[in-house]
Structure 1
Amino acid sequence: MFWQTSRFSIDLTSPQIMGIVNVTPDSFSDGGQRQPSDIAAILRHAEQLLHDGAHILDIGGESTRPGSPAVPLVEELARVLPVVREAVRLGVPVSVDTYKPEVMQAVLDLGADIINDIWALRQPGAAQVVAQHPACGICLMHMHRDPQTMQQAPMAGDAVAQVVQFLAQNAQNLQALGVQPERIVLDYGIGFGKTVEQNLTLLARQQELLALGYPVLAGWSRKSCLGAVTGLEVDQRMVPSVAAALLAVERGARIVRVHDVRATAQALQVWQAAQPAL
């Protein structure tokens, strides 16, 4: 199985680690560690993630933590474009976490490989931007409501069935615009308008999403539901995050989006070494 992106056909035979590069002052997990204006520090962080074992870099200029305010377009462009311009020279796939079509077009023009959209390309014009690009990779994520309100009234009922139906429909909509299925990856959106129990059920029943035939990306890193289970604060959640990533891979996810790249890579090395013995 391969994920077709702008410059790379990513081999998903082995699990791929997507390292998180926040270009924000207010992300829930590492806000304030690197200011958006300090491009050199952000790029050093990106290079360290690659050294630690990341295969893909995911650059984002707007926090999507619960209750976070939207970032104006001009500000997001000012944060993201200088980092993308340099990151595409690092020789690895570069993903950009955005839902704004103007940002999508700008980063694709700079050579970005993947658009990772929490809105699953539902913002006006977004689907058209990626459909008109000849080969960029696309990650469609499920989100209930929006970042400002998603945890005020989480989903009701069977989250798995709703997530599967939503992602299947949005993937079909993209293909109707001419997007080849090998460009599409699905993310079930841990923490985006779901209860702790629903998040854990999505992991337990991940196979139902895999049955759609697309690769799955799992984004458990440092999420609040891990804190609810363990009682740990966000900066203490490395071990639960690695455990969740490993469980997701064991259950078929092909990409894990993480902050703690080195620890995740080490855990996956052990998992992969054990595969011939199973």
Structure 2
Amino acid sequence: MHVQAIAEKASYYGLLAEYYKYIDPACHIHYYQKHYYYVCWLVQCEQSKAQGHHQVNAPYHPYREQRETRTIADPSKYTYYSYIRVLHASPDAPPVDVYVNGQPLLRQFAYEQFSQYARVPENKYVIEVFPAGETDQPVLSETLTLEGGQAYTLAVGNRLEDLSLYVYEDSPRVPANESKVRFIHLAPGAPNVTVRVKDRDNVFENVAFSEVTDYLGISPMTIDLEVVDANTGSVVLDVPDVTFEPNRVYSIYAIGLAGAEPPLQALILED
């Protein structure tokens, strides 16, 4: 292949990777790998030219080699990556440390806090949650299989005595100039709830604890929402002035305790 054609391929795939960076992680990774492959080929061509060689073969493709079982610390041998973030949604649990395959991911992670997405190779992982500063006995341990190109939220939730890890698949894909939103009920002890536009139509109906709704495509807007008891219709939580921006995806988490401390609140995260 001619050097100019290699350069055009590298540029083309680089542009596609940048376009999909925030709207489709799987496509972003796919095109970035192609971009990197042609960049490596282009560099080899330039190096060979400087040494007086006139032809160079395509480089070995690093993403075609057989994957091996490795820890989170060594992602170099994997084809695809997953994305994980962690949310502390247990209202009476103290700060915790979160470990992935025996390596610390988060320390002193307190209620209401959420992490940014961390990129990890697709694989099976042991997620362990310890009381902050301790490593003897986890209060929570789960083995998860993470798929390449998929984003996940790992929510440490429920009351401390029933602490659980809730895994939700996030979908950052959104049509151009639109928004998407979903609702997750993580308020232990609260009744089934319905989310509606204030004094108007229902958006998500009869959502039970730990359940997640499907994403709903909407036009960008600012609205007032309210969470009501699905059985009685009484308002349990007001969520005013919620802004949904174009090309963004949102998850609304209901956390806290109904009629106790810490109180119910809506935590709105961008996926």
TM-score (structure 2 length as normaliser): 0.26
Structure richer in strand, relative to its length:
2
Structure richer in helix, relative to its length:
1
Structure showing greater radius of gyration is 2
Higher relative contact order (CA 8 A, sep 6+): 1
